[in-house]
Amino acid sequence: MQKLLLLGDEAIAQAALDAGISGIYAYPGTPSTEIMEYIQVSKKAADNNVHRQWSVNEKTALEAAIGMSYAGKRAIVCMKHVGLNVAADAFMNVAITGTNGGLVILSADDPSMHSSQNEQDSRYYGQFAFIPVFEPSNQQEAYDMTVAAFDFSEKHNVAVLLRITTRLAHSRAGVKCHYKREQNKLKFPDNPRRFILLPAIARKQYIALLEKQEAIRKDIESSTFCTYIDGEDKSMGIITSGIAFNYLQENYQDKKCPYPIVKITQYPLPLKYINKLADECDSLMLIEEGYPLIEQQIKGLLNRGLKVKGRLDGSIPRVGELNANIIARALGLPDTQGEAVPDIVVPRPPALCTGCPHTDTYKALNEAIEPYGKGRVFADIGCYTLGALPPHNAIFTCVDMGASITMAKGATDAGLNQAVAVIGDSTFCHSGITSLFDCVMENTPLTVFILDNSTTAMTGGQKSHASGKIENICLGLGVDKEHIHVIKPLPKEHDKNVEIIAKELKHQGVSVIIPERECIQTLKRKTRTQK
Amino acid sequence: MNINIILAGVGGQGILSIATIIGNTAVKQGLYLKQAEVHGMSQRGGDVQSHLRLSDKEIAADLIPMGKTDIIISVEPMEALRYLPMLKPKGWVITNTNPFINIPNYPEKEVLLERINKLSHKIALDADEISKNLGSARSSNMVILGAASPFLQLKIEDIEQTIKETFISKGQEVVDVNIACLHAGRDFADKNK
């Protein structure tokens, strides 16, 4: 069978299509974005009328996917790890309702924070909610385990959390796509009441969820994805999670690893293998891509004084992404390293593109706010976060989606005057609208910049739902029309823009300024296609 | 056969076009491949790199271990030096000499080229000038690919064929100029290696 050269993300997308999904729901977020993008351009998805539009945020995405599952059909919902925080309410509760059509929830973690504000480990969400977690170790497993996750979900009536990390998401390899299945027919849940989480029903459902755990664990213990690989040297046993297995193997290219290995790719943990390893070996080493989740669990589970090495005892660094060299050092194998980086090499941080509309917005804002002093601009998640770096030095916070507006409000409530929020059109739509409504209700004196560049730029230019509608949304929320200004962020408009901003900074109520100019990247792409 | 390549450059310079052509050529020959790419924030003018691994055996990790890289292919001179800790002893550095300056503290070009010259195994060429002289300023990456081609353990004819397949939708002229750039890079490497 011919192999397709696919990113981990793309392998998951192809597998979801082959497993007969009727819809994918997602909000863009590195490193998960390419799953939706692959399905959006897939002929198979178009031919089979698979739903494939971006959602407003991860919570609405997951809720829609739960609805599709309720109706008996298969759905996948995709997000980056911090997106699962946004969707957490729906996530925790779909554990209690259970599913009808197969439901796979993909969360892409970003250890070492290549493009994120933290490196939280989604596997904890699975443990927290009693939702099984699948964690493929390579691109072929990403395909195979996505297919398996849908069957698993329908067999046990549970959602499955598919956890990947940046390296698998954005690395390409040959993948055999061997599966084909039709979409499900419309079908109501067998028990019509289990999606009604009234306390009396929820209590029963919760007990049913806990009772399912043993059957789920048994299935995982008999699956082919978690394996025990024997080794002669029983002085130590090694447990790996997900892609950590590959970094271990990288150290044994020409010879077999002497230690027995348990390769874990599914949770709840296959205790059968772990007990076997603990019985046979004098000590254990845990190699996990992410937090020390198994390491912490195992210490309690074993409770027999076995020495456990890993991220907690410092054998492996407590933070950051793994690589083969880290494992070599942990195992006492020779480390390899080339020449040092010459001193003349300087860092090259990412920056706003030449001609970016945000640059002109920040220039005008910096000038207008100068008389009041620094520290009053609250920003958000997107390209414009790069305004924190020189030469702009224009913003002072970036916490979570939508936080700019509500943090500016809280600071104003605390007595900070001339607070400003800066948020992009897509982020405003994702989580800023409710924040702005909080300000309108109290007529909080602050100025909100909603940067409308007609796209979700940071993740590569996906559709932004609010673009072009922002003025009307603000009017609908009750912002005074006199204090909503649409401006053109261009050098030639600079003086006019500074004047408008300066005036609104003085206004004792909610002001909204909407700098409207298309992202230079999407504009370039459009011009190229038109040629 | 087992070859580890790091492609280096600045976000937006299109290092992945080189990776795609090497990768597709290798896969057609039945080789295993892993290619780790950088997406997201760094693409906005930051330093970017891609790990490309080819082998006749299955490949374990998506990332090349430190000190195990056979070839660094860089479309920018300072970026070529950033990955020296990844390079094997006697590994090759193939680099463009034309700097991409988007930071205020970029080093002096002469100092940079002097440092590159000190490397024991390197091919350094102004790919932008070569491609411009051949009539396509946008094809400098194919000059770099050509300069790297003697070290890839792939036949130049097979690389040519992949270039044809990649660019044919844009017309024969585009194919021809890209192949001319490939050969110009190759000739330079053959004379200077």
Three-state secondary structure of B21-73: HHHHHHHHCCCEEEEECCCCHHHCCCEEEEEEEEECCCCCCCCCCCCCEEEEE
pLDDT at B12 over 70: yes
pLDDT at A463 over 90: no
Q: How far is A428 from chain B (nearest CA, A)?
A: 19
Per-residue pLDDT at A527: 85
Q: Alpha-carbon torsion A370, A373, A375, A377, what sign? A: negative
What is the identity of the amino acid at A469? K
Asked if the C-beta of A297 comes within 8 angstroms of chain B's C-beta atoms, the answer is: no
pLDDT over threshold 90, residue A32:
yes
Q: Do A325 and B36 touch (CB under 8 A)?
A: no
Tokens of B75: 């479309």
- Pick A115's closest partner by Cβ from B37, B41, B107: B41
The C-alpha of B150 sits at a distance from chain A's nearest C-alpha, in angstroms, of 22
**Cβ within 8 Å of B, A 151-180:** 167-168, 170-174
Angle of helix A199-221 versus helix A271-280 axis, rounded to 10: 50
- Enumerate residues 396 to 435 of chain A having a beta carbon within 8 A of any beta carbon in chain B: none
A129 interface with B at CB cutoff 8 Å = no
| CB within 8 Å: A171 and B87 | no
Least confident of A47-51, A345-349, B10-14, B81-85: B10-14
Q: Write out chain B residues lying below 8 Å of A5, CB-based.
A: 23-24, 27, 33
- pLDDT value of position A180: 96
Percent of chain A with pLDDT over 70: 99
DSSP A79: E
Does residue A357 carry a pLDDT above 80? yes
Mean pLDDT for A137-156 is 98
Over residues A373-393, the pLDDT tens digits come to 999 999 999 999 999 999 999
**Is the predicted pLDDT of residue B42 greater than 70, yes or no?**
no
Cα–Cα distances in angstroms (integers) from residue A67 to residues A72, A78, A189, in the given order: 9, 15, 11
Residue A522 is inside which H or E element, if any? helix A520-530
Nearest-CB residue to A339 (from B33, B78, B85) = B85
**Across the A/B interface, how many CB contacts are shorter than 8 Å?**
154
**Alpha-carbon distance A72 to nearest alpha carbon in chain B (angstroms):** 35
Instruction: Tell whether A324 is within 8 A of chain B (Cβ).
Output: yes
A227-229/A160-165 β-pairing: unpaired
| Beta bridge partners of residue A446, listed in sequence order | A510
For residue range B81-90, list pLDDT tens digits in order: 999 999 999 9
Please report which confidence band the pLDDT of residue B118 belongs to, taking 50, 70 and 90 as the band edges.
very high
**Average pLDDT value over all residues in chain B:** 94
Q: What is the mean pLDDT of residues A277-284?
A: 94
Tell me the per-residue pLDDT of A176-221, one tens digit each, with 9 for 90 and over: 999 999 999 999 999 989 999 999 999 999 999 999 999 999 999 9
Are A135 and A122 contacting, i.e. CB atoms less than 8 angstroms apart? no
Q: What is the pLDDT of residue B11?
A: 86
Residue of B32, B43, B84 with shortest CB distance to A339: B84
pTM (2 d.p.): 0.96
Write down the ipTM of this complex: 0.93
| A240: chain B residues, CB-CB within 8 Å | none
Contacts of A336 in chain B (CB under 8 A): 65-68
Q: A472-531, pLDDT tens digit by residue?
A: 999 999 999 999 999 999 999 999 999 999 999 999 999 999 999 999 988 988 887 765
Asked if A173's CB is within 8 angstroms of B34's CB, the reply is yes
Q: Could you say which residues from 349 to 378 on chain A have a Cβ atom under 8 Å away from some Cβ of chain B?
A: 349-353
B65 and A348 within 8 Å at the Cβ level: the answer is: no
Distance from A249 to chain B by nearest Cα, in Å? Answer: 6
Q: In what order do the strands lie in the sheet with B47-55?
A: A3-7, A171-176, B32-36, B47-55, B2-10, B69-74, B87-96, B122-125
Residue B41's pLDDT is what?
A: 65
Express each pLDDT in A149-164 by its tens digit.
Answer: 999 999 999 999 999 9
- Answer yes or no: do B46 and A350 touch at CB < 8 A: yes
The pLDDT score that the predictor gives to residue A531 is 58
Interface test with B, best of A341, A348, A354, A521 (most B CBs within 10 A): A348
Q: In the β-sheet with A237-241, what is the strand arrangement from edge to edge?
A: A227-229, A261-264, A237-241, A283-287, A307-309
Residue of A nearest to B80 (CA): A345
Are B106 and A346 an interchain contact pair (Cβ–Cβ within 8 Å)? yes
Minimal Cβ distance to B46: which of A30, A323, A348: A348
Query: With an 8 Å Cβ cutoff, is A334 touching chain B?
Result: no
